[in-house]
Amino acid sequence: MRRKFSTLLLSLFFVFSFSTSVFAANADLPNISGKSAIVIDASTGEIIYAKDIDASPMYPASTTKLLTALLLAENKKPTDKLTYTQNAYNQPEYSLYNIIGRSKLRVNDTMTAEDVMKALLLFSANDSAYMIADNLAGSPAEFANMMNDKIQKLGLKNTHFVTPNGLDNNIDNHYTSAYDLGIITKEAFKNPWVKKVMGTQKDKIEVSSGAIAYVENRNKLLGQKIDTAFADKIGINLDQVPASNAVAIGGKTGYTAKAGRCLTAVYDKDGRILIGVVLKSIYDAADTYVFNDMAKIINWSYAAKKTPLYKADTELKTIALKYKPLIFFGPEKEVNVPVTLKEDATYYENEVNKAEIKTEFQLSDNIKASKLSKNTSIGKLVLKERDATKTYDLYPTLSSKDVMKGNILLYAGGILGIAIAAALILAIVALITKGARRRGRNRRRY
């Protein structure tokens, strides 16, 4: 009886363990308030999480400043001086004058580009964006042209920027999408200067007048680890998706009445970098929704498992090879060679990848039936997603030996034919030799 009970417990343990692992691997998508969101693997470009990522127009608010920062980094050095302009002075809150004071910040004062970048990305100062626009392009309108040229170079189809700071009052043509903003964030993070500043918690800035202020990053997630306590606090189902322990190392906040609460974030877990975007989330008195949205989709994305598009050892394609079994002569034949993989070809299954993933077979130009080996690749399977490409080796399921076996009767007949021909030749040689000897004897006789 005890043995039966132990066996039952062991069976239940295995069933429960298997069910839990499958449930975690295929966990339901996290419930978020944001209308549009995405998570991208910064290294591979793979889209892991997707929620209406191409919905547009979505309004970016101050997350626009990531592109402004990138253009500053590409056109100036941190030690360069930027002038405080009238256009900057005219900007509404939040601006540098909120922390420095109107009387201590005047038109034609200067700041280093490094301090302007800090004001832009940490405090999200609206006037600092216009300092950059005027100093780089001469006017906000010309800077908008610079922004849209960069957007075009990045291949973004659902983005058009008008202002350097993202303010959108009475402006309808300043817009983006979650996908496009994810690409902008990725490009900004690739720049060492922007990366350093967006990951700074607090720092000092100084104006040529001598005024000093301290700016603090308004990204509440910066430096925060998604550990068990944090995940439990914001409502992540830890039975479904374990705490990732990923740490926020950068990003940018944004808000306007039109845009709602916006956030881009960069996370690191053991060197694996993920980039998230949440657009048009809720902005309430506690201001927690967009940050909780981000933590949920990032945590989910680190736990997400890929789905096989093609399983290992599945015959994907058949190629026809012409060859001559007897190599230099004889009839030409054709053999059909099934092609397969030795590993699963996988992808993240989401609304975008399911609709867009493409398969391409790239076979070697000179495949010979006489040189086939089951362990030698004869080409590549290429999986193409929107911004990600992965290749897998393709292998034949037949070897040259298998091809030879298929021609065993032909080879046997060939060998028999050669043997008969050799015997005939030997017989003819023997007859000729015998005739020559007879003629030789006849000559001696006479």
Structure confidence at residue 405 as a pLDDT band (50, 70, 90): confident
- Residue 373 annotated to the active site: no
Same fold, 28-303 and 309-405: no
pLDDT tops 70 at residue 25: no
Listed range (25-34, 110-119, 162-171) with the worst mean pLDDT: 25-34
Binding-site members for substrate are 252
Choice among 33, 124, 128, 301 that is catalytic: 124
pLDDT of residue 435: 65
Binding-site members are 252
Choice among 56, 62, 281, 301 that is catalytic: 62
pLDDT of residue 26: 46
- Residue 33 annotated to the active site: no
Residues 39, 141: Cα–Cα separation, whole Å = 32
pLDDT of residue 418: 62
Listed range (97-106, 136-145, 175-184, 253-262) with the worst mean pLDDT: 97-106
Residue 58, classified by CB atoms within 10 Å of its CB into exposed (0-12), middle (13-18) or buried (19+), is buried
pLDDT of residue 8: 41
Report which of residues 128 and 424 the model is more confident about: 128
The arrangement of secondary structure in 309-405, i.e. its CATH architecture, is Sandwich (2.60)
Contact 401, 372 (CB under 8 A): no
Residues 93, 126: Cα–Cα separation, whole Å = 7
Contact 145, 137 (CB under 8 A): yes
Structure confidence at residue 431 as a pLDDT band (50, 70, 90): confident
Helix ranges restricted to H, 105-218: 113-118, 126-137, 140-153, 178-190, 192-198
Domain ranges of the chain: 28-303, 309-405, 416-446
Residues 351, 306: Cα–Cα separation, whole Å = 14
Q: What share of the chain in percent tops pLDDT 70?
A: 87
CA 65 to the chain's CA centroid: 23
pLDDT tops 80 at residue 183: yes
Residues 122, 173: Cα–Cα separation, whole Å = 26
Half-sphere exposure of 295 (CA within 13 A, CB side): 29
Residue with tokens 């550990």: 227
pLDDT of residue 327: 64
| pLDDT one-digit tens code per residue, 304-334 | 999 999 999 999 999 999 987 766 556 778 8
- Residue 65 annotated to the active site: yes
CATH number for the 28-303 domain, one of 3.90.1660.10, 3.30.930.10, 3.40.50.720, 3.40.710.10? Answer: 3.40.710.10
Contact 60, 175 (CB under 8 A): yes
pLDDT tops 80 at residue 63: yes
Choice among 65, 150, 258, 280 that is catalytic: 65
